[in-house]
Amino acid sequence: GDSVTQMEGPVTLSEEAFLTINCTYTATGYPSLFWYVQYPGEGLQLLLKATKADDKGSNKGFEATYRKETTSFHLEKGSVQVSDSAVYFCALRGDAGGTSYGKLTFGQGTILTVHP
Amino acid sequence: DAGVIQSPRHEVTEMGQEVTLRCKPISGHNSLFWYRQTMMRGLELLIYFNNNVPIDDSGMPEDRFSAKMPNASFSTLKIQPSEPRDSAVYFCASSFRRVQGRGYTFGSGTRLTVV
């Protein structure tokens, strides 16, 4: 079945540091890929997405590129802020040809803490 | 758009009591999902509905858990009887099923504490 593996955390960075959170996936066909962010005490919010190979999703300075050859969707940001401290989830949604169509499969989440 | 609305935000109950969590999805969305989040197990899909019909309930931990979706605008997750190990944050999410590339919209969650 579909699966998502994220880099284990927690990740602790200083403000303005470069961020990478690795994400790899296993799925059949052409899934859509997502990054969600969860701030303390809140639900998950969609951060960015990509629906086909080589697509780059971006939002709020975060970027991730859909790499089908390496089955990866790594999250990056050039300069993190204290306000980026949150839990980040990588997820995939199976394509229309698969039995898991419509269902999001999440990674285990990566806790990011940014210090001033 | 008010988003996905969950109630209550917090629930504290005694072991053995019945607990009912409620969710109102975004109008027009035809898929609804219930998730449970704990530190130990992360985010777990409990059950999901398409067009009000339960499609996959394999994540429901045991018979004490049940979920219903009587119409397109309302769903409940019931735990009876509740146990301390059910303490978690329960999220509801909704989506358009047939739109490839759409993510989910999550509610703010219900934090359940069973003492």
| Facing B91 at nearest CB: one of A43, A96, A102 | A43
Q: What is the pLDDT of residues B51-82, one digit of tens each?
A: 999 988 989 988 999 999 999 999 999 999 99
Do B103 and A95 make contact, defined as CB atoms within 8 angstroms? Answer: no
Kindly report the three-state secondary structure assignment for every residue of B21-66: EEEECCCCCCEEEEEEEECCCEEEEEEEEECCEEEECCCCCCCCEE
Q: What is the pLDDT of residues B13-55, one digit of tens each?
A: 999 999 999 999 999 898 999 999 998 888 889 999 989 999 8
Spatial CA neighbour of B30 closest among B92, B76, B77, B95: B95
d(CA B46, CA B68): 12
How would you classify the pairing of strands A11-14 and A110-115?
parallel
3-state DSSP assignment of residue A17:
coil
**Average pLDDT estimate for A46-58:** 94
Q: What is the pLDDT of residues A2-44, one digit of tens each?
A: 899 998 889 999 999 999 999 999 988 888 999 999 998 888 9
Do B33 and A104 make contact, defined as CB atoms within 8 angstroms? Answer: yes
Q: Which chain B residue is nearest to residue A55, measuring alpha carbons? A: B101
Given this model, what pLDDT does residue A96 score? 58
Partners of A46 on chain B (C-beta within 8 Å) are: 103-105
Q: What is the pLDDT of residues A71-105, one digit of tens each?
A: 999 999 999 999 999 999 999 987 655 555 567 88
Q: What are A114's two structure tokens? A: 């940014």
Task: Give yes or no for A55 touching B (CB within 8 A).
Answer: no
Task: Give yes or no for A94 touching B (CB within 8 A).
Answer: no
